[in-house]
Amino acid sequence: MPNVAALGDGAVREGGIPELLSVYGGVASGRVVVLGAPGAGKSDAALLTVLRALDHRDTLREGTRRAQCPVPVLLSIVGWDGRGLDDWLAARLADDYRVGRKQAEELIEGGWISLFLDSFDEMAGDLRHAALREIDRAAYRVVIFSRPDEFEAAVADGHLLGAVALELSPVPTADAVAFLRTMPGLAPWQRLITHLENEPDSTLSQTLSTPLILTLLRDAFPPRRITDLDDMLAGRFVSRHEVEEYLLGRLVKIRYRPESSASRPAYEPRKAERWLGYVASRMNKQETYDHGRPASGRTYSLNWRRLHYWASPWPRIAVTALTGALLGASGCVLAYGPGRHIAWDDFRGTEFGAVYGSIVGISFGAGAGALAELRDPVPRWRKRLHVQDAPHRRRFHPATGILVAIAVTVMAIPDITNPVSWTVAIAAGLLTGALAGFAATRIPAAPGWTGWSRWRGLHSWPVLAPAGLAGTCVALSFWQDNGTPDRALPVGIVSMLTVGIVGVVVVAARPASLADPVTDPYTSWRQDRNFALVTGTIFGFCISLALGVNQVIGATSEGAAADGPDWGTFPFIVIGFGLPFAYAGGLAISDHWRTSLLFLQLRLRGDFPLLGMRFLKDAYDHRIFRAEGASYQFRHALLQDKLARDQEHAPPL
């Protein structure tokens, strides 16, 4: 790497993060392995080295030399399913950083990034061998962080030739004392420092030799509870395990204890510990569903999108269906009452709308709920359709195609009792939807657009072509049915404007926040909610707009049959049909709704709070969890195991 000396034999025997950076940037093979015992600070060393590498890259002002210095990317390899490393890395970059799949592949192929792989030891044994084979073939720098035993077993077949292996050393007593001297100058801390200096061979002193234990010690004894430190000093620990168990158990209790008798914690300590224990026990023995395939074992990552496997899906589908029935009945009461919409012949009115809306709503709700339950974050069908040599650029956008096809089909039906009208309308919908789906892939991604260029895109052919084709097809459909242009021309014009509005919304109104990189699980949770709300609203009200236009022009309006278009019914049609369609459209793509219903199930069983994501974020703020992309992890596997064991022996609340 630029401005980093080539690494010779014996060049670095010991050091800190600066020396680790020199190994990373100077080794010719581009392969570095960092080994460490549990709690030795592997994840922190990875993060600090990445930050130092980014600082080094920022110092390179020249364009050519800066381009030769790759951008370090820190990822946990847990969840890798054995496919090609480049393919997995491109998917992670696209999902975690929203750079686009094509751009991610170009970054990898061009050597613009280097990979820091954490949690190598947490993979299944057979996958470790496969991962090393993939790393051997990688054309970019790779740094692996692992426990020694697991790595030695995996590398025994002769992988990573030319790699440099480093091991994280225990924290020397002098450094531990220097760290403790940064604590508030209270007497208990001074007595602990004296103990370390005078009895360096004691069990307690030997245990305080890893970053994990030292930071646990700091967090377990805040200033308001510092007197408890004397109790620990008075304790007679016979093993390192006892010290670890004491500190891990105290951490959770102290974090949720009120700061004073007058203050009230957000969560009762006993319940918070019980809820965390439930999460830990599920993570330790739950089935994992990577890429749709169930597999037994434990997991260290808490992906909120996959929590729905913790309870039966049938109650969630039932609640979704009942909610759909309620919205469908309310919407159809508006559409068939004040909106004077006619379904078939004399089927109309408020009573018919309530019954019809309930039936349709419960059907749509059950279908959307079942679709949400069957949809995995990485569904099996998408994995099966993946072709290694497929073109980089997507050639069809199915969501846009389906939305426009439905809207045009609804607008193009002049007579719902005539099979010929249905045939012509469906053909018009399919043709227009195909063009719209193709055109949508020609619209640049929203994050790269400025405000002005986004508006300039509204008159481009991806917006105008589907709108023009929709107006032409709908006009021809009504002309075929009526035989005169009197109704066909205005219906075609209005249909053109309707599909044009869809294009305007898709191109110009995409919220920029939805394209932001995911920085933590709670942000991912909110982004999913916002995306579902926006997408569902676009879908629902575009469909209802098409129905409203169809009615006002006279296709199914009793008012139009008498005196011409009746625009007074238009708002009732749009709102009445828009609400249930928006509900079904948003629900079908939302993981937020599915997980919220899971929290309701767990709350009724007494296993978890109703506002589950808020509790998880609070645990993250209390440093019980750490964030790894869009997933939470317990601060350390030792804490996860401790909470899981306590959960097994805990009495019922």
Cα separation, 328 vs 333, whole angstroms: 8
* 295 vs 325, higher pLDDT: 325
Model confidence band, residue 1 (pLDDT cutoffs 50, 70, 90): confident
Q: Which of 474, 476, 481 is nearest to 498 (CA)?
A: 474
Spatial contact of 92 and 517, defined as CB atoms under 8 Å apart:
no
| Segments in 390-458 forming alpha helices (H) | 398-411, 419-440, 451-456
Q: Is the pLDDT of residue 461 over 80?
A: no
Report residue 295's pLDDT band, with 50, 70 and 90 as the boundaries: very low
| Token pair for 293 | 């395939």
What one-character DSSP code corresponds to residue 29? Answer: T
Confidence of residue 650 (pLDDT cuts 50, 70, 90): confident
Strand partners, 631: 303, 628
Is residue 633 helix, strand or coil? strand
Highest mean pLDDT among 367-371, 393-397, 473-477, 608-612: 608-612
* CA–CA distances in Å: residue 605 to residues 140, 275, 387, 600: 49, 12, 44, 9
Residue 559 carries which side chain, given as an amino acid letter?
Answer: G
| H helix runs in 554-590, sequence order | 558-563, 570-589
What strands lie across the sheet with 31-35, from one edge to the other?
Answer: 71-76, 113-118, 142-146, 31-35, 164-167
Please choose, from the candidates 529, 520, 515, 521, the residue with its C-alpha nearest in 3D space to the C-alpha of residue 591: 529
Kindly give, in sequence order, each residue whose CB lies less than 8 Å from that of residue 479, ignoring residues fewer than 6 positions away.
485, 488
Confidence of residue 318 (pLDDT cuts 50, 70, 90): very high
Beta strands in 343-422 (DSSP E): none
Position 13 scores a pLDDT of: 79
Helix (H, G, I), strand (E, B) or coil at 556: coil
pLDDT of residue 54: 92
pLDDT band of residue 349 (cuts 50, 70, 90) is confident
Confidence of residue 382 (pLDDT cuts 50, 70, 90): very low
Contact 273, 256 (CB under 8 A): yes
DSSP state of 238: -
Residue 527 reports pLDDT greater than 60: yes
pLDDT at 50: 94
Distance CA 525, CA 88 (A): 23
Q: Which is nearest to 70 in space by CA: 81, 54, 86, 82?
A: 54
Encoded tokens for 386: 């993946």
Other C-beta atoms closer than 10 Å to the C-beta of 480 total 14
User: What per-residue confidence (pLDDT) applies to 652?
Assistant: 66
- Give the C-alpha separation, 217 to 209, whole Å: 11
Q: 23-32, 86-95, 496-505: lowest mean pLDDT where? A: 496-505
- pLDDT over 50 (residue 43): yes
CB 226 within 8 A of CB 188: yes
Beta pairing class for 302-303 and 631-634: antiparallel
pLDDT-derived band at 115, boundaries 50, 70, 90: very high
**Highest mean pLDDT, choosing among 186-200, 378-392, 462-476:** 186-200
Per-residue pLDDT reduced to its tens digit, 179-204: 999 888 788 888 889 988 898 888 88
Considering only the C-alpha atoms of the chain, give the largest distance between any 2 of them, rounded to a whole number of Å. Answer: 103
Q: Which residues contact 47 (CB under 8 A, 6 or more apart)?
A: 74
Q: Which of 25-34, 218-227, 415-424 has the lowest mean pLDDT?
A: 415-424
Answer for the pair 120, 77: CB distance below 8 angstroms, yes or no. yes
Mean pLDDT of 549-568: 56
Q: Examine the pLDDT at 431 and tell me if it is beyond 60.
A: yes
How high is the mean pLDDT of the chain?
Answer: 78
Q: What are the φ/ψ torsions at residue 432 (nearest 5 degrees)? A: -70, -40
Two tokens, residue 539: 């879908």
Tell me: pLDDT of 267 over 50: yes
86-95, 399-408, 440-449, 533-542: lowest mean pLDDT where?
A: 440-449
